[in-house]
Amino acid sequence: MTVRSLLLAGLTLAISQTSFADTTLEQVKARGSLNCGVSTGLPGFSSPDSKGRWSGIDVDICRSMAAASLGDATKVKFIPLTAKERFTALQSGEIDVLSRNTTWTITRDTSLGLNFAGVNYYDGQGFMVNKNLGVKSALELSGASVCIQAGTTTELNLADYFRLNNMKYTAITFDTSDQTVKGYESGRCDVLTSDQSQLYALRIRLKRPGNAVVLPEIISKEPLGPVVRQGDDQWLNIARWSLFAMINAEELGLTKNNAESQKNSKNPAVKRFMNAAGVSPALGLKTDWAYQIVKQVGNYGEVFERTVGAGSPLKISRGVNRLWSDGGIQYAPPLR
């Protein structure tokens, strides 16, 4: 490296350290809103309506963090990002948190300067095909052309699955899920592969959803959750415990409708939830941060049902996303 290069690197580092001199919580408070990176539009997870109002299970993660840190779940600016743009946007400080159906992997967790705060949806990769092909199993797909979104874990999973089963395929890649769907509908490929929840979400956007079928195989683990930058443990804890508060609220039977009436509950666990600052002073939040989340956003089960579950167009079963006490694997440490 030349002397000029060293000077430029030092200057870049100094600018970077200056930019992140304040904590993320302080920056969010000073700005008065939270910058949330979301998808470019995926029903059930993060998508805007005709008036630009965002909804989805990933959207509600950011709303819960805004309720906790600002006391107002509406104080969120949603920034749509492609799969290839998302990590750079977080690393550069363009967004405060990435909540965009992102799989937690060791490579992403250890080499990108980022931290995963938890899992808000346990998913797995699947395949969607046209019914007219008569395909009943993914093992019948040798020689197929496959539509896939670039910059995702699905590319590697696809290669591993076909190699393991001695099958061949041709990958047709696109930058966004919208482009991927259009490619599938126009006949550019025989198969569309993605996380299975996304396949159900994308199917309802087809002109003829009934002509598409999701095959039974799930070929990978895809734990999806919010991501923040490394180096700010307080903000990581706020992201993590905002999710945990929603899961704990469901366990405790706290909902949007009954949160107010439960403020004077004699249940010790509910009392700790309502005055959560007493058990988490290092978060730097107001005493009622957990109450604000359940009052303004709802508990985890409520969010799941209205965004991707029975109360939504997707009607996805809770499956493994049920609470641990109901036979699922959703589990949060206690607020104590």
Model confidence pLDDT, tens digit, residues 173-201:
998 888 999 999 999 999 999 999 889 88
Count of C-beta atoms within a 10 Å radius of residue 139: 12
Please list the residues that pair with 192 across neighbouring strands.
128, 147
d(CA 33, CA 134): 50
Domain annotation for the chain: domains and CATH numbers: 124-221 (3.40.190.10)
What does the pLDDT read at residue 16? Answer: 45
In the chain, which stretches have pLDDT less than 70?
1-21, 277
Give one DSSP letter per residue of 136-165, joined into a string. -SGGG-TTEEEEEETTSTHHHHHHHHHHHT
d(CA 119, CA 239): 11
User: Any idea of the CA torsion for 34, 39, 45, 48, to the nearest 10 degrees?
Assistant: 80
Q: 228, 236 in Cβ contact below 8 A?
A: yes
What does the pLDDT read at residue 204? Answer: 86
User: Any idea of the CA torsion for 58, 64, 69, 74, to the nearest 10 degrees?
Assistant: 90
Model confidence pLDDT, tens digit, residues 257-304:
999 999 999 999 999 999 876 778 889 999 999 999 999 999 999 999
Residues in the chain: 336
Matching residue, tokens 């999806």: 224
Question: Residue 50: CB partners within 8 Å, gap ≥ 6?
Answer: none
Matching residue, tokens 């909902």: 255
Is the Cα dihedral 77, 83, 84, 86 positive or negative? positive
d(CA 198, CA 101): 9
Residue 123 phi/psi, 5-degree rounding, is -125, 180
Read off the pTM: 0.86
Long-range contacts (CB closer than 8 Å, 24 or more residues apart) made by 154-157? 154/125, 154/193, 154/194, 154/195, 154/220, 157/125, 157/219, 157/220
